[in-house]
Structure formats: C-alpha cells, structure tokens
C-alpha cells in the first residue's frame, strides 16, 4: 500500500468523534447504538465528501489544475464541500446544478456555494455530461486548467478517503476496546461504501456494512453492486493494494426510497426528530435522515440481535435542512 505517498490536500478534522447513543439505545430496547460523526469533518459544515476531496483536490493540485468543476442536485452536499475545498486550496470552482435558476433567496447548501465563491450554472440533468464537456472546453480556451470531479466524487481516488476512514474507526475501536457488529450509512454515488468495504478488508474489520440505498430502487440490485466493486477495485489499484472485491462483497439495503430522491416522507421526519430529541444529533433530510430511518425500521423488525452493537455512520448533510424547512415542521 502506498496511501501515505499519494497526493493529498488536508481539509478534514480527523479523527471524527465516535460516540455512544445511550438514551436512544435505551428507548429502542434493541442493540447498543453508536455514531461516527463524519458530519463533523470540519470543512464548511462538514460531511463525507470532505474525506474524498482530500485525495481528489490533492490530485488536482498535483496535475497543476486551477479550477474544479463538479455537478449535482441544487442542494448537493458534495458541491458545497467541493466549492469550499476549492476556496481553501485557492482554486476556482464551477458547479453544474440540476434545475432552473431559483426565484427565491438561496438557502441551505446553495447559499453556502455562493458564499465560498463558486460559479453556479443551472442545467437539465440529462445534459450534464455534455455541459461538463462544454464548460471544460470553454475554460481551456481561456487558458485555464480545469479538473473535473465526477458526481459525488465517487471514483478510486475519492474512495481512498474512506479506506482511511475505516482504518481510523478500527483504531478508535481498538483503543476503546469496543466491538461493532454492524455499520449503517447512506449510499448513493458509491464512493463511501466502496472505500469502507475495501478499507474493512484491508484493516481486518469483520462487522457487516449496510449501505442504505438513498436513490436505489430494486431494479438497481446487481448493477449498483457491480459499480461499487468497480470503484473499490479502481481504488485498490490506486493505493497499491492487492485486494480485489466482487459484487457479493457489498450489502445494499433496498426499499427505503419512499417518494424518491430528495423527497421527505414520514420515515425521514421521524428519524430526524428522534435523533434530535433523544441525542441532540442533527441529521439531514436527504441522506442521513433516510439511512437513520431505515436503521430504526430494521431495529423495529428485529434485524439486529439485542446483544449486538450497531454503528450509524453519520455522513453529514444538515445544511440542506434549512432548504427543507417546510417539509419538517
Ligand atoms: C453524498 C452523500 C452520501 C452518499 O455517499 P456516496 O459516497 O455518494 O454513496 C451520504 N450522505 C450524505 C450526507 C451525502 O452528502
């Protein structure tokens, strides 16, 4: 392994805290619950993309880039953290966001995108690839050197951040003489899950990793696991590990998409209120709220034994809450 020699730009406050959830564990009367606070990575209100961006921005700088380009939803946490990373690294940033120019005053992640100085382009989602290419070409024409980060920063380079995150957790568990049987987290573009599962193999973590499909329907079963294996193997190659994974190494939890991506339902509302009112932990409406809701549902259905320990890996996203206020009151 050669992670220590790979280009990396420091952005995250690490290690993120590992905390117990005693009040919630007691209330639910099931497994012992813990939480890994990647909502506290520190960059512009934090989140899981910060870990990926350390390696993505590292590579961008190593290649002499002066501009970052990425794309996502209007309330993308990935875009907000990329824009903040660009600011910190002294790079320009262009974001391609889905939708029409909003009429209202920007809120949530979108407000922060503007504050950190990103240039926002409103596009239709289906023209994303074309618009990315056009923008890159236009910037090169202006003698700039853009570095394109794919949606969610989920490639072999970005996933490296989660290989290290898993090593970080294993070390925290060793020092605390704790064991974790299950890890639950939201999974969408896949870099987080791919990196975690690869990291678990490398670090010898034997618990089960359950990635809750945030936008994955039953028809994605199979293709999504293939995609996860592909990102993980690209990552293994990047970091010089001999480990290779196949689709059967990945556990994706389906059935929690509700009304669709970014649509808040009772599952998310209950999860957000439960985490907030029992532990003072703020989840987000799109990812962590849904994944936490899935975990509560699985506990209710008896999916975990009462003597087991379940760790919820909080991937961040709370800035989006303010843009979803009307769905939460
Ligand atoms: C992007 C994101 C995820 C999903 O991570 P992927 O690596 O895209 O699978 C989960 N939670 C939050 C808050 C995110 O912003």
Would the pLDDT of 232 be above 90? Answer: yes
Please tell me the predicted confidence (pLDDT) of residue 236.
98
Task: Determine the pLDDT at residue 103.
Answer: 87
Q: Is the pLDDT of residue 10 over 90?
A: yes
Q: With residue 148 as reference, give the H or E element that holds it.
A: strand 146-148
C-alpha to C-alpha distance for 81 and 325, rounded to whole angstroms: 21
Query: Looking at the predicted structure, is the pLDDT value of residue 306 above 90?
Result: no
Gap from CA of 316 to ligand 1 centroid (Å): 8
Residue 25 Cα to ligand 1 middle (Å): 25
Rounded distance between C-alpha atoms, residue 323 and residue 190, angstroms:
24
Residue 281 scores a pLDDT above 90? yes
Respond yes or no: is residue 154 known to be catalytic. no
Whole-number mean pLDDT of the chain? 97
User: With contact defined as beta carbons under 8 Å apart, do 202 and 241 qualify?
Assistant: yes
The CA distance from 183 to 292, in Å, is 11
Cβ of 47 closer than 6 Å to ligand 1, yes or no, is yes
Question: What are the backbone dihedrals phi and psi of residue 247, each rounded to the nearest 5 degrees, phi first?
Answer: -60, -30
Question: Quick one: tokens of 31?
Answer: 């497994």
**Four-way CATH pick for 3-48+154-328: 3.40.50.410, 3.40.190.10, 3.40.50.720, 3.40.50.1100:** 3.40.50.1100
Q: What is the pLDDT of residues 38-80, one digit of tens each?
A: 999 999 999 999 999 999 999 999 999 999 999 999 999 999 9
Instruction: Confirm or reject: Cβ of 317 under 6 Å from ligand 1.
Output: yes
Q: Quick one: CA torsion of 277, 17, 6, 252, rounded to 10 degrees?
A: -50
**How much is the pLDDT for 283?**
98
Phi, then psi, of 37 in degrees rounded to 5: -90, 65
Alpha helices in 124-155 (DSSP H): 128-141
DSSP class of residue 263 equals -
Ligand 1 within 6 A of 186 CB?
A: yes
Tokens of 183: 């890890």
How much is the average pLDDT of 289-294? 98
Q: Do domains 3-48+154-328 and 49-153 have the same CATH topology?
A: yes
**pLDDT, tens digit, for every residue of 95-145?**
999 999 988 899 999 999 999 999 999 999 999 999 999 999 999 999 999
pLDDT at residue 1 greater than cutoff 90: no
* Residue extents of the structural domains in the chain: 3-48+154-328, 49-153
Q: Distance between CA atoms of 103 and 22, rounded to whole angstroms?
A: 44
Question: CA 13, CA 184: separation in Å to the nearest integer?
Answer: 22
- pLDDT for 82: 98
Predicted pLDDT at 205: 98
CA distances from 191 to 139, 162, 173, 234, 273 (A): 27, 8, 23, 11, 28
Written in H, E and C, the secondary structure of 15-39 is CCCEEECHHHHHHHCCCEEEEEEHH
Per-residue pLDDT, averaged over 215-228, amounts to: 96
Residue with tokens 């970052």: 68
Q: Tell whether the model's pLDDT for residue 84 goes beyond 90.
A: yes
Cα distance from N-terminal residue to C-terminal residue, the chain:
49
Given the residues 76, 154, 188, 241, select the one marked as catalytic.
76
The domain over range 49-153 is classified in CATH as 3.90.420.10: no
């Amino acid at each position: 392994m050669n992670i220590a020699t790979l280009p990396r730009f420091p952005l995250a406050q690490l290690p993120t805290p590992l905390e117990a959830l005693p009040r919630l564990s007691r209330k639910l009367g099931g497994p012992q619950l813990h939480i890994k606070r990647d909502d506290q990575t520190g960059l512009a209100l934090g989140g899981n993309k910060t870990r990926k961006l350390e390696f993505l921005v590292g590579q961008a700088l190593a290649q002499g880039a002066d501009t970052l380009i990425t794309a996502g939803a209007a309330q993308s946490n990935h875009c907000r953290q990329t824009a903040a990373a660009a600011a910190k690294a002294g790079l320009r940033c262009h974001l391609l966001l889905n939708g029409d120019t909003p009429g209202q005053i920007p809120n949530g992640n979108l407000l922060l995108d503007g504050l950190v100085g990103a240039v926002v382009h409103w596009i239709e989602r289906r023209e994303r690839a074309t618009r990315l290419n056009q923008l890159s070409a236009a910037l090169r024409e202006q003698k700039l050197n853009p570095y394109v980060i794919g949606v969610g920063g989920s490639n072999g380079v970005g996933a490296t951040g989660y290989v290290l995150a898993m090593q970080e957790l294993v070390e925290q568990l060793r020092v605390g003489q704790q064991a974790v049987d299950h890890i639950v987290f939201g999974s969408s573009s896949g870099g987080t899950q791919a990196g975690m599962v690869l990291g678990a193999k490398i670090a010898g973590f034997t618990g089960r990793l359950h990635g809750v499909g945030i936008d994955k329907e039953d028809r994605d079963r199979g293709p999504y696991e293939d995609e996860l294996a592909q990102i993980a193997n690209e990552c293994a190659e990047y970091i010089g590990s001999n480990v290779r994974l196949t689709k059967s190494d990945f556990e994706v939890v389906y059935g929690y998409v509700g009304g669709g991506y970014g649509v808040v339902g009772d599952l998310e509302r209950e999860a957000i209120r439960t985490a907030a009112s029992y532990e003072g932990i703020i989840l987000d409406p799109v990812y962590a709220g849904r994944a936490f809701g899935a975990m509560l549902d699985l506990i209710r259905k008896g999916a975990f034994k009462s003597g087991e320990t379940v760790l919820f890996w909080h991937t961040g996203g709370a800035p989006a809450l303010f843009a979803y206020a009307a769905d939460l009151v």
